[in-house]
């Protein structure tokens, strides 16, 4: 079987993107006019998806990163990576892996990432801090206590965080090598996390592949169905679906149209957004004139639902950091001025400004007060 030609079809990927978006925007009743972006600030974009550190918790010094942003990038949603790649000597010996594809040793949840990000942020001046929206990632989404970790981080570092994520439920190669219980969209621990994110106003950046790698033709895309049900259970939570569910080798199944048609009855998904971050995603969307046109038409129709992001990990220089933006030039050129402004800046400002306000209000009401003991409180969808 010619695996490459089937898996990397840009046309299929765009069809997948189109259908996934269509089902969400149509079921949500369509995008509504919102405030437009900041046209006159001189920045090229705000970055809704950025990792300061890598899979071994090392990365760019935050002061250097501010210089890399320079006068090109206005604001950045900033996070580490919740998973640490273990260096298992019995597996790779003296070779120290820095990426999950470099060894069969497991990944494990590394909660200290949140303290690292918070302390880095706190080392900046107020003017520098105003350009960043740090995110909490260091929780295990299979743990019913994960929401309590998030609360604890807000209480320990008030005034810092705007959201949670990027965190991962299903991801090619990653999920199956993560230590402990396998993450699941059906786990009530995840509902508890999203319930609290809604209560506190935290923006959620969720990575969940749109399908499994290497699906058989006509295989039921259970992930998308579970994802839709999860989104439906949390109408009060702002959720960004990272990479529109695409990945290196994740491709849509042939029955996508039928799946989307079955999902078209849901009117309650206008709290779900899409980031088009990652060079792997850009590769699909700008592959051909046809893919560019189809993607641009969709974004132009629903300009409030997409955010630009880089998904860069610990860049060392500005040219590398701007690579994904440069890759997207043909797509950006095909957007209306209004859609371009919203995708690059306006939607970021709207979502993250709202989050800052709500999270600061939650902190003002809760920090310094005794924590109630963990309780078996009702969870959305599990009452
Ligand atoms: Zn990412």
C-alpha 348 – ligand 1 centre gap (Å):
16
pLDDT by residue for the chain (383 residues), tens digit each? 343 444 445 555 555 555 555 555 444 433 333 333 455 789 999 999 999 999 999 999 999 999 999 999 999 999 999 999 999 999 999 999 999 989 999 999 999 999 999 999 999 999 999 999 999 999 999 999 999 999 999 999 999 999 999 999 988 778 888 888 999 999 999 999 999 999 999 999 999 877 655 555 666 577 778 888 999 999 999 999 998 876 655 554 343 333 333 433 456 788 989 899 999 889 888 988 988 888 888 888 889 989 999 999 999 999 999 999 999 999 999 999 999 999 999 999 999 999 999 999 999 999 988 777 766 666 776 54
Residue 263, pLDDT score: 36
C-alpha 49 – ligand 1 centre gap (Å):
6
pTM to 2 decimal places: 0.86
SS3 percent helix, strand, coil of the chain, rounded to 5, is 45, 15, 40
CB 148 within 8 A of CB 138: no
For residues 350 and 214, give the distance between their C-alpha atoms in angstroms, rounded to a whole number: 37
CB 141 within 8 A of CB 187: yes
C-alpha 80 – ligand 1 centre gap (Å):
9
Residue 252, pLDDT score: 42
119 sits in which H/E element: helix 112-122
C-alpha 238 – ligand 1 centre gap (Å):
18
C-alpha 257 – ligand 1 centre gap (Å):
27
C-alpha 277 – ligand 1 centre gap (Å):
8
C-alpha 99 – ligand 1 centre gap (Å):
13
CB atoms within 5 A of ion ligand 1 belong to 166, 311
Residue 264, pLDDT score: 33
Neighbour-count burial of 377, counting CB atoms closer than 10 A to its CB (0-12 exposed, 13-18 middle, 19+ buried) = exposed
C-alpha 309 – ligand 1 centre gap (Å):
9
C-alpha 5 – ligand 1 centre gap (Å):
25
CB 168 within 8 A of CB 175: yes
C-alpha 223 – ligand 1 centre gap (Å):
19
C-alpha 274 – ligand 1 centre gap (Å):
13
C-alpha 376 – ligand 1 centre gap (Å):
32
C-alpha 167 – ligand 1 centre gap (Å):
8
C-alpha 168 – ligand 1 centre gap (Å):
9
C-alpha 305 – ligand 1 centre gap (Å):
18
């Amino acid at each position: 079987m010619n695996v490459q030609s089937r898996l990397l079809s840009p046309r299929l990927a765009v069809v997948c993107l189109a259908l996934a978006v269509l089902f969400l925007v149509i079921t949500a009743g369509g995008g509504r006019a919102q405030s437009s972006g900041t046209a006159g600030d001189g920045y090229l974009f705000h970055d809704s998806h950025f990792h300061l550190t890598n899979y071994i918790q090392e990365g760019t010094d935050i002061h250097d990163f501010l210089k890399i942003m320079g006068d090109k990038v206005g604001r950045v949603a900033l996070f580490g990576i919740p998973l640490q790649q273990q260096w298992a000597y019995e597996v790779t010996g003296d070779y120290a892996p820095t990426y999950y594809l470099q060894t069969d040793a497991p990944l494990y949840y590394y909660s200290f990432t949140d303290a690292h990000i918070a302390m880095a942020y706190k080392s900046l001046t107020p003017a520098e801090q105003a350009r960043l929206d740090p995110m909490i990632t260091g929780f295990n989404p299979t743990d019913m206590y994960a929401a309590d970790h998030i609360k604890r981080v807000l209480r320990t570092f008030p005034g810092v965080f705007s959201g949670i994520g990027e965190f991962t439920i299903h991801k090619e190669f990653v999920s199956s090598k993560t230590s402990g219980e396998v993450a699941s969209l059906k786990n009530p621990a995840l509902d508890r996390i999203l319930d609290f994110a809604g209560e506190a106003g935290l923006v959620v950046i969720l990575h969940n592949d749109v399908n499994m790698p290497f699906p058989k033709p006509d295989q039921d895309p259970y992930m998308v169905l579970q994802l839709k049900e999860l989104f439906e259970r949390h109408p009060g939570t702002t959720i960004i679906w990272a990479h529109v569910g695409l990945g290196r080798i994740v491709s849509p199944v042939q029955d996508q149209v039928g799946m989307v048609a079955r999902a078209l009855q849901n009117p309650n998904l206008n709290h779900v957004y899409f980031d088009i971050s990652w060079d792997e995603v850009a590769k699909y969307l700008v592959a051909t004139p046809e893919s560019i046109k189809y993607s641009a038409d969709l974004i132009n129709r629903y300009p409030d639902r997409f955010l630009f992001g880089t998904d860069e990990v610990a860049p060392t220089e500005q040219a590398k950091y701007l690579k994904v933006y440069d890759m997207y030039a043909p797509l950006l050129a095909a957007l209306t001025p209004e859609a371009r402004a919203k995708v690059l800046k306006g939607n970021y400002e709207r979502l993250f400004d709202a989050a800052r306000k709500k999270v600061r209000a939650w902190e003002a009401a809760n920090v310094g007060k005794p924590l109630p003991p963990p309780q078996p409180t009702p969870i959305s969808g599990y009452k």
